[in-house]
Amino acid sequence: MTPESSFPAPASPPDGQLKVAIAVPLEAEHVDAIRAVDPGITVLYEPDLLPPERFPADHSGDPDFTRSPAAEARYWELVNSADILYGFPNESPAGFARVVAENPRLCWVHAMAAGAGGAVKASGVSTSELERVAVTTSAGVHALPLAEFAVMGILNGLKRTAELAVDQRAKHWPDLRIPTRLASGSHIVIAGLGEIGLETARLARALGMRVSGTKRHADPIPGIDEVATADRLPELVRTADAVVNTLPGTPFTERLIGRDVFAAMRPGTILVNVGRGTVVDETALLEALDSGTVGYACLDVFAVEPLPADSPLWHHPRVVVSPHTSALSSAENRLIAERFAGNLRKFLDGEQLPHRVDPVHFY
């Protein structure tokens, strides 16, 4: 899917009274920004019905929060009276399935996640219902924090920070000072030149790196040395100093970075994963780490999450484990609300909604 999907814009309500319900925790100032999009819309927002945030952009809110029976009934009355939802009800696939089944007015739900396709698929909502109810994602909002994390991982690998940390804990001052590698002139390969990949490329180029990468269609991209389709990834990584995955989890990307890709890498290649854990074959990755083909891996996502306690990745000396938090930032709520407000303007103007989840392939 391209950011501007080929699906038609969802239909407006027959009575013309457009209602937007805030279904997840959100600060009042961001709700006001949504209200300011157009005086003709009604924004339904009752913060007492929403769980308090434990940290910025805590879309699920405090898990210990409970509603009284009356408040629970009121919450569902609110979301079932809306044409548009900001967030899945209770931020869950089950909540999404319920509102689709109970609310015939509903035509659009904006998800907080960039990769909301998995939650939509898990809801079990039919393809025909997903044609009626558009689901858009927050793809792109997380591009900068993810790109910054990816560059951090590359620099950690180039500058041997894992080894420095071991020496520091041991209070060891080595007799031989081992040189580090320069970012400038290094070659980075990005699997997935979408918004996250292109933002990563922008930051990498600012450090003097050469950038190649993959995309579904291998059309040239300004500033990218070479653009190829995914089947050519083994060829691209042959000269790479670092490989960054930004791809979503789909049947087409599952274990895309596997033994054939690792076999093509040079010794000491850095791997960063900020896409989905299923894209990397973790067994093959461990083999590549143990052989030295992968010199350092910075991983924010995993095939199974939370990462099982018995996974060797937890204690591998050249692996950094991040608990799927690299996209989080204190600005996330504002950025998502701004994205939604822009989409709402498009909706009101009869334009196509960007970043709509494909109702068949779920990405």
Preceding amide of 179 cis, omega within 30: no
DSSP three-state, residue 223: coil
Rounded Cα distance between 117 and 156, Å, is 31
- Residues involved in catalysis: 276, 305, 324
Q: Decide: 336 and 141 in contact? Cβ < 8 Å.
A: yes
Cβ atoms of residues 21 and 82 within 8 Å: yes
- Report the C-alpha gap between 288 and 277 in whole angstroms: 16
- Find the helix or strand (DSSP H, E) in which 289 lies: helix 282-291
Residue 356 pairs with which residues in a beta bridge?
A: 136
**224 vs 202: CA distance, rounded Å:** 9
Question: Distance (Å, rounded) from C-alpha 359 to C-alpha 363?
Answer: 8
List the structure tokens of 241: 């100093």
Degrees (nearest 5) of the Cα angle 198, 137, 113? Answer: 90
* Nearest one of 207, 283, 204 to 246, comparing CA atoms: 204
